[in-house]
């Protein structure tokens, strides 16, 4: 018996030595960062991490822990370090470092994780360069008619919703559903040139399916062991089966769009031999149950393309290509396989829809809570739109008559003043500085993506900013570069494979960066007097540095035009209070109390 005990103790000792050796760089980093304090904190941090490892709990836990643990905080997880940072100086160092370009393995839990959004190293650089033309300034300007048309339809649908209720109260979820459908329709029209009419109705529940997949993606990101299907099914079969059903529906939706566009592409061919090589993708994909099946079917199609005696017919090289046309053009040039076309389409449609709809809802919520700012914004919108000449109004109204839309609104119930139907152009947006301030402040206070995580690809030196003492309320006149808060800068070696979690949400609400009104909705934060009084990385709603969001300008244009359409026509009010809101990590920012929030919406009469 004693012999067996000795063997067990020996094995345990060797195992501990092996683990310590594998973690040696991690412990060295913790020691360099905080000394004995960092070592002693590890068991506490492990316990807090395990207890709060849920999408609904993690943001509340982070807010609570920031009061007791000085940033930055390092937690040893296996053979890696999870480094939490919440200051603009460290974020600048991370986001501008080539070694921190890649996303982490945690983001593999994302259901659409094979496109540009999750590409790594050289592959990301090449793909980003290939897709940049689809978001050029001229291409974005060509989308404005679509933005306006769908925004007008969204106005009409919201008016119908108001006619169906005497109290004019609309739940947060109902308004979110309408805006999500409108944004998804815009996304399909501008990236895929496909009309879906989602703003009117979504009979298949595509928008709900996307939101469900985002919730499941958040769960699989925070709990990475659920990325293994066998474990996921064993631990939670109900959610696993739901994710499979949702994945299949979204795959079919995206594949059908690509199939239709591919048919149009082949129709331009002047030779019948090319058309004969076309494979019906949908029929092949229906035999597959997972995303992996797409790759096999797509490879078969790509082989058919390559064996064709005639090339695909592309659009004119000088023509501004939208997203799907650019993908087909790259496939024609041999730079993209069909599997990659499917992956890029899935990723782009989802991202362009989810982030924009969340941003619009956050802005509307801020304006409904702070109605004095809403009224000021409405006055600016009306002032700018009223300057449009009568001739331009007449031309725009004639164009709208050619759109095949059915008006379901009773003019006696809702005022149909001309300004409501004017198309917003770039010149109008440039004349609305207060709109910029409102949007920027909303994205600061309720940032769309609260946490950004990067992987360190090799050992590097970084400037780490750390607190030296308890922060005090800063003097707004001394906010430039954080002068009013005592902080220290140290150069530390960051081990390879470290996960750096950048808490954008907390940083953009921190008094050391934004002054005494950091927790309030205060649009003057983005006035000329304040813009030079903060760190350049204190506001990064679409990330910054080497890996910025490719569609940031696209998102802002949709956001602005939709807000103009909504605020010019409707007055939003709510009993919700900003201080009482609790937030949930759902990849994009979500509200825990969303089911309990209501908007009181009244049609605005033009003054």
Per the annotation, binding residues for heme are 549
Are the C-beta atoms of residues 162 and 179 closer than 8 Å to each other?
no
Are the C-beta atoms of residues 563 and 570 closer than 8 Å to each other?
no
Q: Is the peptide bond before 556 cis (omega within 30 degrees of 0)?
A: no
Alpha-carbon gap, residue 551 to 344, rounded angstroms: 14
Are the C-beta atoms of residues 140 and 559 closer than 8 Å to each other?
no
Alpha-carbon gap, residue 445 to 515, rounded angstroms: 13
Alpha-carbon gap, residue 440 to 446, rounded angstroms: 10
Structure tokens at 165: 């209720």
Alpha-carbon gap, residue 370 to 236, rounded angstroms: 42
Q: Could you tell me which residues come within 8 angstroms of residue 129 by beta carbon, excluding any fewer than 6 positions away? A: none
Structure tokens at 361: 């809802």
Three-state SS at 145? helix
Structure tokens at 339: 């599997």
Three-state SS at 34? helix
Are the C-beta atoms of residues 465 and 89 closer than 8 Å to each other?
yes
Alpha-carbon gap, residue 455 to 553, rounded angstroms: 26
Quickly count: other Cβ atoms within 10 Å of residue 106's Cβ: 18
Structure tokens at 411: 């003019």
Q: Could you tell me which residues come within 8 angstroms of residue 391 by beta carbon, excluding any fewer than 6 positions away? A: none
574 forms bridges with which residues in the sheet?
A: none
Alpha-carbon gap, residue 94 to 97, rounded angstroms: 5
Q: Could you tell me which residues come within 8 angstroms of residue 580 by beta carbon, excluding any fewer than 6 positions away? A: 593
Count Cα neighbours of 256 within 13 Å in the Cβ-side half-sphere.
11
CA angle 552, 184, 287 (to 5 degrees): 115
Q: Residue positions in the annotated binding site?
A: 549
In 3-state terms the chain splits into helix, strand, coil percentages (rounded to 5) of: 60, 10, 30
DSSP 8-class letter at 388: S
């Amino acid at each position: 018996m004693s012999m067996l005990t000795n063997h067990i103790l020996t094995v345990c000792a060797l195992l501990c030595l092996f683990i310590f050796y594998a973690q040696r760089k991690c412990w060295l980093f913790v020691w360099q960062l905080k000394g004995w304090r960092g070592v002693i904190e590890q068991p506490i941090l492990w316990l807090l991490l395990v207890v709060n490892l849920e999408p609904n709990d993690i943001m509340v836990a982070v807010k609570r822990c920031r009061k007791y643990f000085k940033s930055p905080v390092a937690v040893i997880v296996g053979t890696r370090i999870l480094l939490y940072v919440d200051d603009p100086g460290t974020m600048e160092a991370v986001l501008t470092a080539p070694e921190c370009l890649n996303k982490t393995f945690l983001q593999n839990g994302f259901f659409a994780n094979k496109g540009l959004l999750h590409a790594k190293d050289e592959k990301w650089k090449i793909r980003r360069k290939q897709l940049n033309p689809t978001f050029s300034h001229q291409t974005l300007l060509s989308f404005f008619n679509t933005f306006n048309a769908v925004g007008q339809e969204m106005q009409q649908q919201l008016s119908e919703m108001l006619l169906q209720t005497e109290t004019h109260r609309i739940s947060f979820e109902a308004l979110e559903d309408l805006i999500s459908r409108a944004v998804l329709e815009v996304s399909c029209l501008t990236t895929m040139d496909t009309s879906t009419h989602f703003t009117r109705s979504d009979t298949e529940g595509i928008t709900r399916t996307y939101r469900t997949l985002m919730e499941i993606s958040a769960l699989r990101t925070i709990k990475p062991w659920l990325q293994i299907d066998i474990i996921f099914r064993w631990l939670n079969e109900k959610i696993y089966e739901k994710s499979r059903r949702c994945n299949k529906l979204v795959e079919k939706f995206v594949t059908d769009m690509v199939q239709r566009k591919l048919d149009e592409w082949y129709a331009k061919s002047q030779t019948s031999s090319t058309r004969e090589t076309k494979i019906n993708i949908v029929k092949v994909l229906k035999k597959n149950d997972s995303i992996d099946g797409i790759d096999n079917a797509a490879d078969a199609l790509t082989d058919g393309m390559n064996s064709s005696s005639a090339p695909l017919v592309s659009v004119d090289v000088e023509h501004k290509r939208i997203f799907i046309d650019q993908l087909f053009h790259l496939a024609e040039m041999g730079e993209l396989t069909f599997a990659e076309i499917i992956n890029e389409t899935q990723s782009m449609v989802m991202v362009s829809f989810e982030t924009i709809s969340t941003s619009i809802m956050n802005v509307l919520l801020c304006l409904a809570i702070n109605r004095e700012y809403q009224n000021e914004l409405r006055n600016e919108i009306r002032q700018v739109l009223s300057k449009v000449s009568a001739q331009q109004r007449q031309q725009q109204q004639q164009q709208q008559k050619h759109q095949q839309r059915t008006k379901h609104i009773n003019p006696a119930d809702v005022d149909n003043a001309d300004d409501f139907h004017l198309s917003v152009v770039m010149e109008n947006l440039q004349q609305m500085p207060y709109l910029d301030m409102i949007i920027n402040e909303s994205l600061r206070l309720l940032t769309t993506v609260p946490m950004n995580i990067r992987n360190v690809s090799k050992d590097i030196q970084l400037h780490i900013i750390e607190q030296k003492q308890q922060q005090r309320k800063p003097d707004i006149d001394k906010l430039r570069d954080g002068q009013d808060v005592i902080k220290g800068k140290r150069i530390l070696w960051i081990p390879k494979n470290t996960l750096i979690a950048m808490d954008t949400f907390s940083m953009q609400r921190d008094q050391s960066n934004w002054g005494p009104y950091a927790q309030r909705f205060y649009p003057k934060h983005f006035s000329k007097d304040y813009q030079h009084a903060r760190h350049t990385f204190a506001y990064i709603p679409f990330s910054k540095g080497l890996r910025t969001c490719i569609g940031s300008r696209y998102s802002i244009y949709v956001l602005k035009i939709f807000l103009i359409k909504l605020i010019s026509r409707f007055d939003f009010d709510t009993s919700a209070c900003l201080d009482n809101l609790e937030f949930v990590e759902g990849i994009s920012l979500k509200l825990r109390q969303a089911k309990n929030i209501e908007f009181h919406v009244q049609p605005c009469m033009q003054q």
